[in-house]
Structure 1
Amino acid sequence: MIHPTALVDPSAKLGAEVAIGAYSIIGPDVEIGDRTSIGPHVVIEGVTRIGCDNRIFQFASIGAEPQDKKYGGERSELVIGDRNVIREFTTFNRGTGDGGGATRIGNDNWIMAYVHIAHDCRVGNHVVFANNSTLAGHVEIGDHVILGGFTGIHQFCKIGAHAFAGMGSLINADVPPFVIVAGNYAKPRGINSEGLKRRGFDAERIAAIKRAYRTVYVAGKPLSEARERLAEQASTSSDVAGMLEFIERSERSLVR
């Protein structure tokens, strides 16, 4: 299932039923899991491990050196999970020695055309990145996050699980779980209640999350006081406890 014009290094490790399209290039330190499909004109290089049942479309660049002037050629890797759809002209870079040595992308993600995932990023599961979304280095993305088209995220920012960024958002601070942001620069716009309903959150859970959002963003209290209120609410809601944990480990400012 390898097109005769594809260039596959003999030391690359390919699983069962891997398909590789015309003119694609697979480097020596690449591992590709079972039933993964690689389209035409794809370049996969560096130390790159790709799981099973992925679909990578034409003209993708996977595992290239990080776009970081501090990178000195040290060994680093890109790790991609299972069942991801990776569309045209996407660019995923390997990690750096200073950033932990790896860029990691989880499972069941839908990544559209022209998306860039920079060095040392951590991307969870079930995310949707619309066209031209861009992650700078060291960005962390939680599960079930949706980024609208042309979203840009500053380096070292964290986006919590179930958050949603509207089209054209520029994000330069951490976004707590469940929160919708939009704008340049992005501001909070409520919680992602529609997305939560689609994922099976009941009315009680959503009400607790809304109450937590009002505590942080509507009550007009300092963040220190808001955190105390969240701690009280977290005793009866694991979702609020997760939001509080995110806020407490945030090393940047929150979107406000």
Structure 2
Amino acid sequence: MLGLTTWFAVGTLGMVVGTLVLAYGAVLVPTERRRFIALAASVPGIAAVAYGLMSVGIGGFTTASGSTVFVPRYVDWLLTTPIHVAFIALLVGASTGLIARLATLQALTIVFGFVGATLSAPLNWALYLAGSACFAGVIYLLYAEADALATDQSDEVVALFRKLRAFVVILWLVYPVIWLLGSTGLGIMDLETGALVVTYIDVVSKVGFGLIAINDFVSMAHASDDTAASETDLPDAARTAD
């Protein structure tokens, strides 16, 4: 368990530092974008609490089937993954109904994964498939309905929307693979290796998401300022030419 404690401590540190960096990043973006960064910063903030609890041995238990389940990890995912999908949908002005469907399907993905992890075969596999189906629904809504709304946004916003969408979908596809290979599924991957991989993906996805958003929001603001400055200079240039 020393290895688990170490990885959870590393995760705690990564999430705390990530939260502070994203909180500072909120100062760098335009005022109207700060609510987005506040959402993004809350994600590693929540995860820092979960990892802190796991690093001191709180929240883990062994099921009747012999798999080890960490409750704080699933509570973290239940709270934070819907925030990410809501963030992406809000970028393109999605309706409350679409955001609710995305958040609900994403939350059900986590709930089914958690309950399945506590049960033995064949129930665990049925719930794994149910969770996978919910996640497929999330992907469909992001790539179909949300993408259709993106046409009404600026090219810069559309680029950020598609970048963040691909970022989370690709990284989140790793989690069901870990569930499948770990003690919750086939038992091929040992607990420590699973903790290492999950911690790495968690930090990258949670902190990286916010950093990408901050970088693009700052770039958009600079581009807007440059355009405004160029337009302001045009009359002077015209007068000089005369």
TM bucket normalised to smaller: under 0.3
Whose radius of gyration is greater, 1 or 2? 2
TM-score, normalised by the number of residues in structure 2? 0.28
* Structure that is richer in strand per residue: 1
* Structure that is richer in helix per residue: 2
- Specify which structure has the bigger relative contact order, considering alpha-carbon pairs within 8 angstroms and separated by 6 or more residues: 2
